[in-house]
Structure formats: structure tokens, C-alpha cells
Structure 1
Amino acid sequence: MTQRLRIIRAIFAFLFLAMFVTGMLGPVLAHAKEPKAPHVLVMTVDGIINPVKTKFISRAIDQAQRDSAAVLIIRLDTPGGLLGATRGIVTLLLESQVPVAVFVSPRGARAGSAGAFITVAANFAVMAPGSNIGAASPISSTGEDIDDTLASKVENDAAALIRSIAQTRGRNQDGLEQTVRTAASYSAQEALAENLVDFIADDLNDLITMLDGLIADTSSGSVVLETEGLGVRSFEKNILEHFLEFISDPNVSFLLLAVGGLGIVVEMFNPGLVAPAVVGVICLLLAFLALGNLPINWAGVVFVILASVLIVLEVVVAGFGILGVGAIVSLIVGGLLLFTQFGDTSPTMPPIAVSKWMVYGAGGATALALVYVVRQAHLSRMQGPEDKSFILIGSLGTVTGELNPKGIVLVGNETWTAVSGDDSVIAVGETVEVRSIDGLVLTVFRRNNQDIVDNS
């Protein structure tokens, strides 16, 4: 059996290693087959701007440079994102040796807040008909205005950044500054008229045609674009980036944090279970990895973990529902506070929060589970201990605490209080037989004495 188990383990290890190597070498081999000829590299960036997006764009620029791409086109549709990640992307675009065009598309897309910074930082800022750009003024993570002093500090910093970008790219500084100062937004036609963007393109093919013959100022010098007749290649996120994007969803990160905290606390109160600890550690690590891509409020984290502690305490120490109520309240408060910012806020970050349906749903599910547990505990107390007299009478046990005449005996795997039936002293280690049970006290006889009584 052991040999068979080792073979199975070896097979699984080999399969895992083979999949790992294939996953690592597959993209490399596929990339090696593609000729390094001029082409147009196209990528799509949508959703919240975070460090994952920064890494994604950085990889795209590197590949465009390695593969001699004529231009990198970023199709953008975003409500905004983290200021740190936005600054990182702006730096990448300004320092790129490959011409970059940011295309706010498809129709109806937006370059809100952080998206405005990213769009105007590209060599060519392009919008699709029906798209819009702007609204980069500082707000709190709940969508409300922040106090005047803090707003002035954050606003001035963001305004200075977007003016600097506008100066570098030759765009309308005053118009772009208004997106920060007054949360101004512009339609595609208005942005073109105000010299915020370079032109409007109906679709990707139209954009590629319009780029042909234009001059781009890159970090390595001026480049004349020759895009006519070039092939188009797509640049996609890798598996890790897709996974990080998934767990960076506020609702997913909230669930990971709650489950992770619960798993760790369960293991602390029940050492040796192993499984809760493993699940808990993995979920917590994933939660903190996700929270690194989001504006986190640590008070919310504390409340969620406190809820996990109170849930376990309710089950272990039987808090008669009081601890359970505290757990539900802590879980709901933690979920609502998790992404609420009271201090310095990002001017490029749109309002984000855990869905109230998710928060209240988790609280409701916790309440139902605790009601069931408390009810079962109450019924167990009402029923009292299981009647074991018919099982114990006639059973043999070993004295673990001297009977003089009262002491402790071990019967089966249970320790009982016992008294000597003939009031004699029975030493530790002697064998006794159970004759009767009164509540939680056994009446026992030394095995030899009982034999004599039976014979008489």
C-alpha cells in the first residue's frame, strides 16, 4: 500500500512539474516563432487602475520594444484608480522608446480620473465617438467631497502632475487642469476642440490609418510612424495577472479576509485540525495580496478578524448568543469600513466599496449559522448527558487516582469519579469492575474481591 501511494505521489509530482514547465516555456516558444518585424501591438486596459495594470503595461512596452513594434496601442476604458499606479503608468509612457497611442474606446468608454492622466501622457491621445474624458478632482472613497485643507493639498499635487504632462506632450494645460480643479469632463468632440486629445478615430483600423506618417517624440528620439499595411498583434494578460485582477475585486478580497481569519482562529482553538490553518493562511495571504492593489482601511480589517474570533468563541465557550451578535455586528461594520478612507485620498481613485448585498448577505449567513449552533447547544443541555449506565455496568477499569474510598478510574477512554463499594483502599493501577452508576459517580469493586463475592 505504501509503495502504491509513493507511485501515485510521484505521478502527480511529475504531472505538476510538466504543467509548470509547459506553462513557463509555452509563451516563450510561441513568442520565438513570431518574426521580429514591424507590426502594431494592441492591448486592452479596463477597470480600476492598480499595480497589476502598471505591470501589464510595462510588459507590453518591453515586448513592443523587443519585437520592433511600430506602435503600441492601448485601448482604454476606466473609471480611475490608484494615484501611485497612475504615476507609474505615466512614467512608463513618457519614458517609452516605442511610440504609444492611448485609444479611449469603444464608443461609450471613458477615461475618468486616472484614465485622463494616462490618455494625455501617451504620444497620441485618441478617442472614439461617444467616449468622454476628465473628472479627475479629489474625492473620498465613498464618493463624497473631502475637507478643504486636505482637498487643496491633494488637488494641487494632482494639478501639478497633469500640467507637467500637458507641457511635455504639448496639450492644453489649462483645460486639463480643470479636470482636476473643477472635475471638468469633456466629450470626444470637446476634447479635440480644446486640444486635450490629438484626433478622433471610429475604430482600431481607422486609428492605424490615421497614425501613418505621424511623428512621435520618444525617449530615444523622434520616430516617423509607418503603419500602413502592418499586421496587428494582441497582447494579453498572463494567468497571474488575471488571477490578481480577480482577487483584487473588493467583494472577493472581503470574503478571503473573512474566511482566512475564521480558519486561523478555528485552528487556534482546536490545535491539530490542520485543514482550517492551511485554508486560513492561504486565504489571508491572498487577501493581503489583493488589498495591496486597493485603498485599504485597516480598521475594517480588524473588525472582520474580530468577527472571526467572536464566532469561534460563541461556539467554544457558549456565549448564549451575545458573542454571536457581536460577531455579526463586527462583520458588517468591517465590510462597510474596509475601503472607506478618512485621511489622505487618491484624486484618481473612483468610489469603491464591498457590495452591501455581500456585506449583509455574509452577516445574514453568519447569523443563521450561529442560531443553529446555539440552538443545538441549548437542546444538548436540556437533554443532559447520554445514559451510559447499561454500557458501563460490568465494565473493567483501571484506578488512576487512589480510591480511599473515593478516587478516579479510567473506563475505556473516559475518566470517571468512583467510590470503592466495600470502602477499601484501592491503589493506583489496580483493576476494578463497575457495579453501579449514580449520576457521574461509579461504584466499583476490586476485581479480586468481586470474584470472592460472586463465589459466595
Structure 2
Amino acid sequence: MSALRAALALVLAAVAIGPAAQPSTLALDAPLGDGPVYRVAIDGMIDNALAAYVDRALDDAAADSAALVVFDIDTFGGLLDAADQIRKAILSSPVPTVAVIDRNAASAGALIAYANDKIVFVPGASMGAATAVNQTGEYAPEKIQSYTRGLMRATAEATGRDPRIAEAMVDETIDVPGVSPEGELLTVSSDEALRLGIADAVLPSVDAAVEALGAAENAQENHAATRAERVLRFLGSPVLASLLLMMMMGGLYFEIQTPGVGFAGGVALVGAALFFAPHYLLGLVESWEIALFAVGVGLLLVEVFVTPGFGVFGIGGIVLVLGALLVALVPNVGFDFPSDGEIARATTTLAAALVLLILLTVSLGRLLPRSERLNRLVLAPELSAASGYTSADTAADLVGQTGRALTGLRPSGTAEIAGRRVDVVSEGPFVSPGASVEVVRSRGSVVVVREVA
């Protein structure tokens, strides 16, 4: 009986420990130093602002002689180019890195996780489904898919993991026996990741991972984005970029439709500043792109104030403005543009903003006159003469009366009629000053006269 109890106790102990406690597999290749442990969160959408933040965090860790950088990952993915920038920064980091997947490392998040020296899963976490898609959720062209497969394969090889399993997260034609049959993208749970050699351990938290690595006694540095970085990340998000595009284009359109410089021009200026400034600071927009946009706006202003109508300046201004906005949405280096996929994504964003602007304009045009609170902003009723509306300054009582021209009528000028000084228009040729005139008709405030002998 005692032998049976001892055996049962060993079984229960093994179940209690489970696959989570594996310090031998989680141990780093080199002993940890005495420096601090940097904890960096990778959450939300993977974008260029996050990539810039991760670069800074790794630089700070290296400068501080950190013993370890722990990435707390919880993301459903984002931009491939931003994920690649983060991947390269982690792979080249002189400080050991560990990814702790807290719930999700989907799509671009899986690529980032693979770049770390060690990967720890929290129970219930998942990772995979890294196929590249466009903004509508459709699969990107094969050229982009091939590049994504190559990134996953190269990253897995660099960190000593099975490259075929990494590729299966991008390519559904790869069969992973017992996990992901052909025709399904690979997404692994914590236990599957441990069994397949993706995860080095399954632990309940980031603290448990730090303790298992033997770094619990080191100083803990919770690295956080600065306020400026958070603002830049907010302003640089694709959704807000689309709204700012609407602000710019809508403001320019309504400013062109109205004389002078007013509220619409201010809205366009604010939208341009909020769009270009964060993208420029993040290195996503270059100086020549901003200059191109400014020249386009300048041509539109010339069209409005110097050469009224719509001609070469107007067309050129529109082409330059839209072209500048398009290249600003593409992560180019100088005049070296990326693949057609990125250009197509930028074109889709710009086109979506234009469509939304048109729909918003049409909707407001119908809504404002019907709203009791907002119809003060527009002239809802038609103030026609048939409805009893007339000009505040009418001269119908002057018809048939005579007077004399005070100035020459070329054809307009001033006359004295019935003791009143009236602005008049001559019906015929030039009328010299002092000539007798007769009012032949009055149309609102316009008084038409002709010379009489």
C-alpha cells in the first residue's frame, strides 16, 4: 500500500508541475549578468510607431547593460513592414530576449515572437495564422506571401526552431502531422507549441518566466512608451490617417468653393499638420513629399485667387496633392518604392478616404436642412419673390420718374431721381453727366435708366 501511495504521489506531482515548469529548456545559452531586466509590452496593432518604440527600448536596454529583455506580447498583428523592422531589431539585439505570449501572437505577432531567443506561452495563449492579407482581409498576392514565408523561415532558422512549422503558419499547403492538416493555416495552443518545439516553456505569467530564468533578483525595469510616442502612435494609426485625409481633402474642397480664407481652410491646415507631422517624425514621410503637397496646395490657391476658373493650375494642384498623399502612405526610402502590394494598400486607403468624404458630404447636405438645431448653418428655405421675399432696398416706386445723371453712366453710375441719390445702370450708350434720364424699370435694387431729351 505504501508503495502504491508513493507512486500516486509522484504522478500527482508530475501533473501539478506539468509542462509549465521546465527551467532546463528555458535556460539561456550564456549566464545572465547583474543588469536590470527590461519588460517591454508589444500590444495592440503592430505599426511603425510601435516599431520605433521597440527600437528605442532595445537601445535603452543595451545602454543600461540590461541582463534580459522580456517582451509581453498580446497582439492580433498589423503591418508586415513594421513587424519586419521589430524582428530585425530583436535578432540584432546584444541583450538576450524572451517573448512571453500573453493570450495572442497572431499574424505579425508570430513573426516577432519567433525572433526571440526564448518563447514562453501563458496557458490559454495561441500563436499563428501569419498569412499576409490586405486591408479588406483578402489574401495578399503570392509575391507578398512568398516574402512572408521567407521571413518566417529565416527567423525560425536564426533562432534554432523548425522552419517548416514556421512556414505552416503562413502557407496552408504545408502539412504538420497531428497538428495542422494540409489546407489549414497553423495556429498552435500553448501545449501544442511546447510539443512542437516552438515554446520553450508554458508558465503562468511574465513574473514566472523571469523567475524561471533566474533573473528574479535583478532590478526590474518596466519600460514604457513616452507620452509623445503614445500620441504619435495614435496619430499614425491607419484609421486615424484616413480621417485626417478626409479633413485635408474636405477642407481644401470647401475652401475652394468659398471666397477668402476661412474655417474650411483652417480644418485642412490642421488635418495636414496632424497627418504629416507624426509620419515625418516616425520616418514614414520625407521632406520632398511634404514639399510636393505644399506645391500642390499652392497651385490650387493660384487657381482660386489669380486665375479664376478651372485650368492647368487646378488640375496640376489636384494631381500633386493626391500624389503627395499617396506616396506619404507608402513606406518608401527616397525614390525607392516597395512592392506593388504596399502601393496597392496605400491606394486603397486614399480611395476609401475619398469615397467616405463624398458620402459624408452628401449625407450632411441632406441632414443639415432637416435638422432643427443644425439648419441654422445652411439656408434651408428658398427666398423667392413668389414667396413674398424681396430685396431690402427696392426702387419699384421710381419707375417712370425722371432725374439727372450725377456721373457719367458707363453704363453704371449715379443719378438724382425724385430727390434721391440712386445707383443706376444705363439701358443704352454712354450718358454724360448732367443729362436727363428716366427710370424705365427696376429689378430689385438695380435701377435701369435711359437718356431723355
Give the structure-1-normalised TM-score.
0.61
Q: 1:127–1:273: structure 2 CA closer, same or farther, 3 Å change rule?
A: same
* 2:363 counterpart letter in structure 1: G
For residue 159 of structure 1, the aligned residue among 146, 149, 161 is 149
| Contact 2:49/2:236 (8 A) holds in 1 | no
Q: 1:388–1:44: structure 2 CA closer, same or farther, 3 Å change rule?
A: same
* 1:56 counterpart letter in structure 2: Y
Q: Distance in 1 between matches of 2:406 and 2:262?
A: 32
How does 1:191-202 map onto structure 2 within 5 Å? Answer: 191-202=193-204
Report the equivalent of 2:39: 42
Q: 1:424–1:250: structure 2 CA closer, same or farther, 3 Å change rule?
A: closer
Report the equivalent of 1:273: 261
Q: Distance in 1 between matches of 2:406 and 2:244?
A: 47
How does 1:132-147 map onto structure 2 within 5 Å? Answer: 132-145=126-139
| Contact 1:139/1:345 (8 A) holds in 2 | no
Cα-to-partner distance string for 1:357-387 (whole Å, 9 max, x where unaligned): x887776345313775998365134555423
| Contact 2:396/2:441 (8 A) holds in 1 | no
| Contact 1:256/1:284 (8 A) holds in 2 | yes
| Unaligned stretches of 5+ residues in structure 1 | 1-35, 213-226, 296-308, 314-337, 446-456
Count residues in correspondence: 335
| Contact 1:256/1:287 (8 A) holds in 2 | yes
How does 1:74-223 map onto structure 2 within 5 Å? Answer: 74-105=71-102, 109-145=103-139, 150-151=141-142, 153-182=143-172, 183-212=185-214
1:433 positional shift: 13
User: Pairwise CA RMSD of aligned residues?
Assistant: 4.8
| Contact 2:415/2:422 (8 A) holds in 1 | yes
2:69 maps to 1:69: no
| Contact 1:244/1:290 (8 A) holds in 2 | yes
Q: 1:441–1:138: structure 2 CA closer, same or farther, 3 Å change rule?
A: closer
User: Which has the bigger relative contact order, CA under 8 A and spacing at least 6?
Assistant: 1
Q: Distance in 2 between matches of 1:410 and 1:94?
A: 88
Q: Distance in 1 between matches of 2:73 and 2:51?
A: 13
Percent identity between the aligned chains? 23
1:424 positional shift: 7.1
Mean alpha-carbon deviation: is it higher for 122-131 or for 435-444?
435-444
Q: 1:145–1:51: structure 2 CA closer, same or farther, 3 Å change rule?
A: closer
For residue 248 of structure 2, the aligned residue among 260, 264, 267 is 260
Report the equivalent of 1:367: 366
Give the structure-2-normalised TM-score.
0.61
How does 1:52-63 map onto structure 2 within 5 Å? Answer: 52-63=49-60
How does 1:224-263 map onto structure 2 within 5 Å? Answer: 227-263=215-251
* 2:158 counterpart letter in structure 1: T
1:77 counterpart SS class: strand
Q: 1:362–1:195: structure 2 CA closer, same or farther, 3 Å change rule?
A: farther
Q: Distance in 1 between matches of 2:145 and 2:383?
A: 62
Q: Distance in 2 between matches of 1:71 and 1:256?
A: 40
1:134 positional shift: 0.5
1:54 positional shift: 0.9
1:417 counterpart SS class: strand
* 2:202 counterpart letter in structure 1: I
1:57 positional shift: 0.3
* 1:82 counterpart letter in structure 2: L
Q: 1:232–1:392: structure 2 CA closer, same or farther, 3 Å change rule?
A: farther
Mean alpha-carbon deviation: is it higher for 249-258 or for 371-380?
371-380
1:441 positional shift: 3.4
